[in-house]
Structure 1
Amino acid sequence: MKAILIAVAVLFSTSLFAQNADAVLGKWETKNGKSHVEIYKKDGEYYGKIVWLKEPLNEEGKPKVDKNNPEEDMRSRPLKGLELLREFEYDADDEMWEDGEIYDPESGDTYSCEMSLEGDNKLKVRGYLGISLLGRTTVWTRVE
């Protein structure tokens, strides 16, 4: 009987601390404060798009576009609404979202990416080439 109670207690405490896969959903301010990215779920995977820009207009007073995209026909698409995060899957064992990609409109480059939460309001976003050790991590803050 004592063993059963211990097993139930361990199972219950594990579920209390296990992270919810959807905990990443919501709006996040990027490290530099230039944009807000909304993370949402589509077909069981996690995606993120720009929903706010600190400076939405270019020097000519027109909405900023994806001018650094390597594909010429994509350079006229607006930055607001641009999907930056694609195809993340949640790994419950590591409590992180992985196997996704992040697009950097400032350089036009796309990187492999993984994300993990630090508490409820900090999101560590790590972009990398090849292996995760060769990359850069930035921290985004949840927007209320």
Structure 2
Amino acid sequence: MKLVLFFIVFSTSIFAQTIEGKWKTIDTKTQKELSIIEIYKKDNQFYGKLLKISNVLSSHADCEKCSAKIKNNSLIGKNVIVKMQKQDNLYKGKLIDPFSDKSYTCVIKMLSNSTLEINAYSVLPLFGRTQIWRKIN
């Protein structure tokens, strides 16, 4: 009986995992917070919008140095994750660099309810960049 109860509780918590919520992006080298992204679901796809930029990046927050397409526009509220779809235990879609407006293939893997592994690349995953995001309660 205890084994059955454990299985029900354990399987429910695994299936309840979702990438939706607010996430703190962390610089892999300095371990400092870079930004806060809110991931939400719309029309069976996931999107992530930029809510906050840390002091580390604040010199770019008004986008003076961005591409001509988005120059002098606020980055807050901009979608940086688009058309993300769940495929098995991964989420696949596009990540947009808010400063250059370049688009990258993105794969998100949930490491736990509070940790995401983000891999973004242009050609091959091997030559991409991986970041860890931490959930904000």
- Which TM-score bucket, shorter chain as reference? 0.7 to 0.9
Amino acid at match of 1:87: K
Q: Distance in 2 between matches of 1:143 and 1:49?
A: 15
Structure 2: gaps (5+ residues): 28-32
Structure 1: gaps (5+ residues): 1-8
Partner of 2:91 in structure 1?
97
Partner of 1:123 in structure 2?
116
Q: Secondary structure at the match of 2:46?
A: strand
User: Structure 1-normalised TM-score?
Assistant: 0.73
Work out the number of aligned pairs and report it.
125
* Aligned pairs (5 A) from 1:13-32: 16=11, 19-20=14-15, 23-32=18-27
Show structure 1 runs of 4+ deviating over 4 A. Answer: none
Supply the RMSD in Å over aligned alpha carbons. 2.6
User: Structure 2-normalised TM-score?
Assistant: 0.76
Larger radius of gyration between Structure 1 and Structure 2 = 1
Matched, 1:77 2:73: yes
Deviation at 1:120, TM superposition (A): 1.0
Which deviates more from structure 2 when the two are superposed, residues 123-132 or residues 73-82?
A: 73-82
Deviation at 1:101, TM superposition (A): 1.0
Q: Percent identity?
A: 25
